[in-house]
Structure 1
């Protein structure tokens, strides 16, 4: 396994025996940081409660650095655990992954470059190639480039993905303000990409059935700029991926309001604030 981007590679969603989702994936957790389009009161609360973000992140980091030998294998990420979640730089490893690395049944090589050769793979910085009968080429996807390739026109190629120093300009992570006739499902990332795409497909279905109308081009562009400012603040250099993992409840709330559905998906007030939201909470959207 060749690692090109250092991530927080964790064995499970538990920290010191406590479910990680209660720290980062409920409505209260989203209250701890600023969100695009929020009012003055929510913004003030986010400012006052912001130290909790640092505390939760350090609790998670201390646990995973203790149980996983990332330092030994040169895989400690440069970013905080919270930023990793905010930019989708988090992955779940198979059971006993590092034990298998120690045994030699899994070869782990952090490297920025590699190339294929007749015997297998040549890793940057290594003199000797790695002999392999089968090489699985799974280096991720250049989503913005795929958007450009939809069009033959160079003008539309430039418009659809935007500049590289900006986020891909999609209203609700789905509709381009300058190309409203085209909807894009699957570009936004989260902890569960299937769930993220499914709720946008429902939103798009409501739109196509005339249950709501898109706002003006100027309003959509303003909304995109608000989200861009937010994503750049919390996701760092990984903002192009449109990761919404730490704000998926807020994002889904906007979609629910557009569809005329109740965004509060839990019946009890305390559950709505402190129990993590999951795909099951949106299963019965009309």
Structure 2
């Protein structure tokens, strides 16, 4: 008994000392990250993927991913041209539906070397995010690199394995290397709605929900969907005097931005490395708990799930486990909208849409009257003929297709803290081009892709892999390790294990390298 009493404070003291122990970072604060490729083609380690050291690089898509790629690669000395179909930068943030905004609090959308201004609201709307992208473009002098009103309709690889791009205007552009940055949301998906031709009202995708005030005042609006965009549209329709109803087959887990669990910020438990210990392992990242105590992980996430659901009306309680949905769904809950639902001012109907009648939507054999139907039903991806499978485009490090030389895809995969992931992905790509990251041979790249694909399908089957958002810790760690850098980016072990990712943790990766 005496030994036990002695060991308890000893273990507690050792744990406290470990958590408080500072983490040293050996990366020097050298000159800005402006370095030409290290290797000549003769001694380049990635000759099996590159046919030559590229000079001119084309980028398809001018959203935040396209801007990050342009900034990073021009700092490496490449000639970069970005082709964007809209007349302004930002992709979906240039123009989108009324009420569109960030899905997570803005600090998660910061970049390592560029942040939202202080005083920004937690979930900024479209105009604020658009300005953030435009200010990033101005700060790094990216505007001259962008060719606006230039929609790409076809990409093709030439006999010498460089790339040719055809635009809607009939132009043909050639590049040594091509980067696809069209993002995960580039083709609005409209469901098949039997009876649509008989409906007397208007049916639109949420991407077309632009004239909200004009279309909603005094109208009956039905929103089909259960994601963040569906709730955005619901809120705007109510704001502009509609009688709105949201129809969903299943509810998803949304977290209030100020949610706490017994006084602990929810992010410390659900979006930290500690939380990841209890999650399904990434295909090459298996924690001790995941390996031997899976039941503990299930219990951990069930407790958090109950905390999230305790104040929800029954219509909004998800049937899918929070542990599963943490990967690929969710976002931040806007309390005002959920409170109006609890008051009965906003109607929620659970069920599948069976079709349309003259004056409404049929769900479960019952008619819900509608003047306007908004389909918040997600997006399809345009892969431009690339070798995608039914559940998505499987790539090495989510970036490279082994069979397609001189080509990369950036920003098409969703993750928590998405712009940070895209930034790390782009710096990794720059180091591949530079020869500082040595790619494995073709067989090993294929084996790595197969291992991740086969394992992923055991965790979530039938969902598009592009929507399958692993915690960004292991995926970012992969990039950082490949570059020979320290994965522990926090000041001490407590922050490393319990604080969610901060983009500023990775500032030296982006701005100062040797």
Say whether 1:223 aligns with 2:448.
yes
User: Could you tell me which residue of structure 2 aligns to residue 174 of structure 1?
Assistant: 399
Partner residue in 2 for 1:77: 318
CA distance in 1: counterparts of 2:403 and 2:457, whole angstroms: 22
CA distance in 2, matches of 1:195, 1:114: 40
- Which sections of structure 2, spanning at least 5 residues, go unmatched? 1-222, 226-247
Counterparts of 1:75-154 in structure 2, within 5 Å, are 75-86=316-327, 88-113=328-353, 122-125=361-364, 126-132=366-372, 136-143=374-381, 146-147=382-383, 150-151=384-385
Does 1:6 pair with 2:246?
no
Alignment partner, residue 500 of structure 2: 276
Task: Answer 1 or 2: which has greater helix percent.
Answer: 1
* Residues 113, 181 of structure 1: alpha-carbon distance in 2 compared, 3 angstrom cutoff: farther
Q: State the Cα deviation string for residues 13-62 of structure 1 (Å, max 9, x = none).
A: 43343222222333333334533235xxx565532343331122111121
Where does the alignment leave 5 or more consecutive residues of structure 1 unmatched? none
Name whichever structure is richer in strand by fraction: 2
Structure 1 residue 222 displacement after superposition: 1.2
**CA distance change for structure 1 residues 7 and 127 in 2, over 3 Å: closer, same or farther?**
same
The answer on 1:198 being equivalent to 2:423 is yes
The 8 Å contact of residues 244 and 251 in structure 1, kept in 2 or not, is answered as no
Q: TM-score, normalised to structure 1's length?
A: 0.78
- Structure 1 residues 118, 91: CA separation in 2 closer, same or farther (over 3 Å shift)? farther
Q: CA deviation at 1:115?
A: 6.4
Tell me, yes or no, if the aligned pair for 1:2 and 1:111 is still in contact at 8 Å: no
Q: Which has the larger radius of gyration?
A: 2
For residues 112 and 200 of structure 1, do their structure 2 counterparts lie closer, same or farther at Cα, with a shift above 3 Å needed?
A: farther
Cα 1:270–1:93, aligned 2, differ >3 Å: closer, same or farther? closer
User: How many residue pairs align between the two structures?
Assistant: 262
Secondary structure of the residue aligned to 1:238 is: coil
Q: How far apart are the structure 2 equivalents of 1:53 and 1:108?
A: 32
Distance 1:238-1:53 versus aligned 2 partners, 3 A rule:
farther
- Gap change, CA 1:171 and 1:85, over 3 Å in 2: same
Contact 1:34/1:230, CA 8 A, preserved across alignment? no
**Does structure 2 conserve the Cα–Cα contact (< 8 Å) formed by 1:167 and 1:228?**
no
Question: What is the distance in 1 between the residues matched to 2:267 and 2:455?
Answer: 22
Q: Is the 8 A contact 2:480 2:487 kept in 1?
A: yes
Paired residue secondary structure (2:497): helix
SS of structure 2 residue aligned to 1:264: coil
Q: Which of 284, 291, 304 is matched with 1:37 structurally?
A: 284
CA distance in 2, matches of 1:220, 1:242: 22
2:304 aligns to what?
60
